[in-house]
Chains A and B, each alone.
Chain A
Amino acid sequence: MDEIKIALLSCGAEYSGVYPEIEKAINKFNAKIIHPFVETSDIDDAVEEIGMDVASPDLRLMAAKAKSLVEKNADADAVFICTCFRCAEGALMRNEVRRYIAERSNIPIISYSFTERTTAATLYTRMEALTTTARRKALLAIKKQEGLTAGIDSGSTTTKAVVMQDNEIIGHGWVPTTQVIESASKAFSLALEEAGIKQNEIEAFGATGYGRLLIGENMHPNFVQEEITVNSKGAAFLADKQEGMATVIDIGGMDNKAISMMNGIPGSFTMGGICAGASGRFLEIASRRLGVSIEELGPLALKGDYRNVEMNSYCIVFGIQSLVNMLSQGAEPADVASAACHSVSEQIFEQQLQEIDIKEPVIMVGGCSLISGLVKIMEDLLRVKIIVPKDSQYIGAVGASLLASGFRR
């Protein structure tokens, strides 16, 4: 595996105690940090060229490093841009520097805002995505599925599999995740069965999702890849938005991803997973309390109005308790269903979507994209029309199957 050179454009990292964590995360994927060389006399010119006249000298230096990169004075394969969380000036400059580099080069970029609690582990998926984008440019350029391939997405709640042939999905499998390998085998078998294909006829298959490494060791797929890269490809393919900017919102059973992508390749993204109140699990419990299936929750929420229900907390315990209290006080089940969807949407909006550029089209995928009430409330919050492509719940499996085209025998 070739060593990747990642240009670090940062402000505040060495004073936040996170520089070693960034270095550790970069080194894990056989990459190393480089610092683009600049003269102090270059700084003001670079700021002038980018046009964002910030006050902080380290952010101005970031502009000069970006200019040095696009003028090819630094030999970098990828760029990692990071500034302190909650710094408005840093967030503005981070975004503009990212845009400046993206418009003038094809170097993959990931941006991030850190706190002193950022650890290497929180950066692993990001660095894996960044180094993959740098190493596998040809693979990620694939826009059309060819031959007979399959993909498995081992999620924390459900395991999905698809079989694809000549750019069409011909088989689906979806099972609850229990044991990773057992669930993956079952989902794969269901997809093969629907497609009427035997496993030995599959030319290549890929694995993604949180159980991907275990699948890699036991089922020997042709490639194993984190879900940010794979889901971006899957979303672009399913929504037929393979060119230009787009935003992917993936609300899963346990965690969420918001990805800002360019030509189907992730640029910046955020990953949730800290609070169950912002996950599909909250909606599962809410539907159980309402006595409806999760499939019925969305249409029910569409008939209600969340403003009629008082919710004091986003928490999966206290928030659900609020809903139960409202039901006992005679609230309409439709209003309660709407309030549950609003609670999840608003928390994702406040905690995740504000960290990335929301560029239309906005594509919603993952199991929760099937809950129509949730999609509608998210549309209201973002004030955009959201695309939910067909087979949106199979996003990871489709992305894996699409990329597996590049590994066919």
Chain B
Amino acid sequence: MKIFIFPPTSLILSDLVERFGHDPLAMMKVVRERVTGPSLDSPPINVTPNDVKDGLKYVAVEVPSGVRGRLALMAPLVEKADAAIMVKNADYTFGCVGCARTNEYLRYFVKRRRIPYIELEYPYTEEEAKEFVISIKNFLSNLENKNG
């Protein structure tokens, strides 16, 4: 199943989802496609003003361009997703979108789509980390059971 991860830049979450046999929907792939494509019109991540207009599919023109540009990249991942794993109050090194408003919208967008999701607090101790991984494993297993 296609699993949207939040933060969408989290390598750890992406790896966990993959290990448990699912397809993570993460930013890394989106950016890789952009920067390895035939043209690089707008370095560093090739978001052009036209992409920012694509963000209007999700939010109004009065929303800052940086939010619309991020949503143009990230919101389609939510649209493709069968389920989502979202981590709250994560450390910067865990993954980061950069903009709090975009974070708020993406979490809201997942809930509005009414797909199965799990929201977890970022673990700061070894015990919490174990619990964190078990929760993700159980969530993904339950998805398989429901669909299997």
Q: Is B64's beta carbon under 8 Å from chain A? A: yes
Report the bound CA distance from A87 to B50 in whole Å: 20
Q: Which of B14-22, B65-73, B120-128, B132-140 has 4 or more CB atoms under 8 Å from chain A?
A: B65-73
Interface of A is mostly: loop
**Mask of A1-41 contacts with B, CB within 8 angstroms, 1/0:** 00000000001111111111000000000000000000010
B44 touches A16 (CB 8 A): no
B98 touches A56 (CB 8 A): yes
Minimum CB–CB distance from B57 to chain A (whole Å) comes to: 15
**Mask of B9-47 contacts with A, CB within 8 angstroms, 1/0:** 000000000000000000000000000000001111101
A116 touches B99 (CB 8 A): no
The residues of B that contact A85 with a CB separation of less than 8 Å are 64-65
Q: Is A96's beta carbon under 8 Å from chain B? A: no
How many residues of chain B get a CB closer than 8 Å to chain A's CBs? 31
Q: Which of B80-88, B89-97, B110-118 has 4 or more CB atoms under 8 Å from chain A?
A: B89-97
Report the bound CA distance from A57 to B69 in whole Å: 16
A56 touches B100 (CB 8 A): yes
Q: Is A178's beta carbon under 8 Å from chain B? A: no
Q: Is B52's beta carbon under 8 Å from chain A? A: yes
Interface residues of A in 77-123 (CB under 8 A from B): 83-87, 89-90, 114-117
The residues of A that contact B50 with a CB separation of less than 8 Å are 17
B67 touches A84 (CB 8 A): yes
Given A17-B52, A115-B65, A116-B69, A87 and B101 contact (CB-CB distance below 8 Å): yes
Interface residues of A in 155-177 (CB under 8 A from B): none
A18 touches B64 (CB 8 A): no
Number of A-B contacts (CB under 8 A): 94
A15, A43, A56, A58: which has the most chain B beta carbons within 10 Å?
Answer: A15
The residues of A that contact B41 with a CB separation of less than 8 Å are 20
Minimum CB–CB distance from A84 to chain B (whole Å) comes to: 3
Q: Which of B47, B93, B99 contacts A58 (CB 8 A)?
A: B99
Q: Which of A11, A17, A43, A86 contacts B99 (CB 8 A)?
A: A11
Given A84-B65, A86-B62, A16 and B47 contact (CB-CB distance below 8 Å): yes
B47 touches A15 (CB 8 A): yes
The residues of A that contact B52 with a CB separation of less than 8 Å are 15-17, 116
Report the bound CA distance from A117 to B48 in whole Å: 10
Q: Is B129's beta carbon under 8 Å from chain A? A: no
Q: Which of B49, B62, B67, B97 contacts A17 (CB 8 A)?
A: B49
Report the bound CA distance from A17 to B53 in whole Å: 10
Given A14-B47, A17-B47, A58 and B42 contact (CB-CB distance below 8 Å): no
Query: Which residue of chain B lies nearest to A60 when distances are taken between CB atoms in the complex?
Result: B92
Q: Is A274's beta carbon under 8 Å from chain B? A: no
The residues of A that contact B70 with a CB separation of less than 8 Å are 15
Report the bound CA distance from A18 to B50 in whole Å: 11
The residues of A that contact B53 with a CB separation of less than 8 Å are 116
Report the bound CA distance from A16 to B70 in whole Å: 8
Report the bound CA distance from A63 to B68 in whole Å: 23
Q: Is A55's beta carbon under 8 Å from chain B? A: yes
Minimum CB–CB distance from B103 to chain A (whole Å) comes to: 8
The residues of B that contact A57 with a CB separation of less than 8 Å are 92, 96-100
Minimum CB–CB distance from A110 to chain B (whole Å) comes to: 19
A116 touches B49 (CB 8 A): yes
A43 touches B92 (CB 8 A): yes
Minimum CB–CB distance from A24 to chain B (whole Å) comes to: 11
Given A15-B70, A84-B67, A116-B65, A40 and B92 contact (CB-CB distance below 8 Å): yes
A-B contact pairs, 26 of them (CB 8 A): A11-B99, A12-B67, A12-B69, A15-B99, A16-B52, A17-B42, A17-B50, A17-B51, A17-B52, A18-B49, A19-B42, A19-B43, A40-B91, A40-B92, A55-B100, A57-B98, A57-B100, A58-B99, A84-B64, A85-B65, A86-B63, A87-B67, A90-B66, A116-B52, A116-B53, A116-B69
New A-B pairs, 9, CB < 8 Å, besides A17-B52, A57-B98: A16-B49, A17-B65, A18-B65, A54-B100, A56-B98, A61-B98, A84-B64, A86-B62, A117-B49
**B residues neighboring A (CB under 8 Å):** 41-45, 47-53, 62-70, 73, 91-93, 96-101
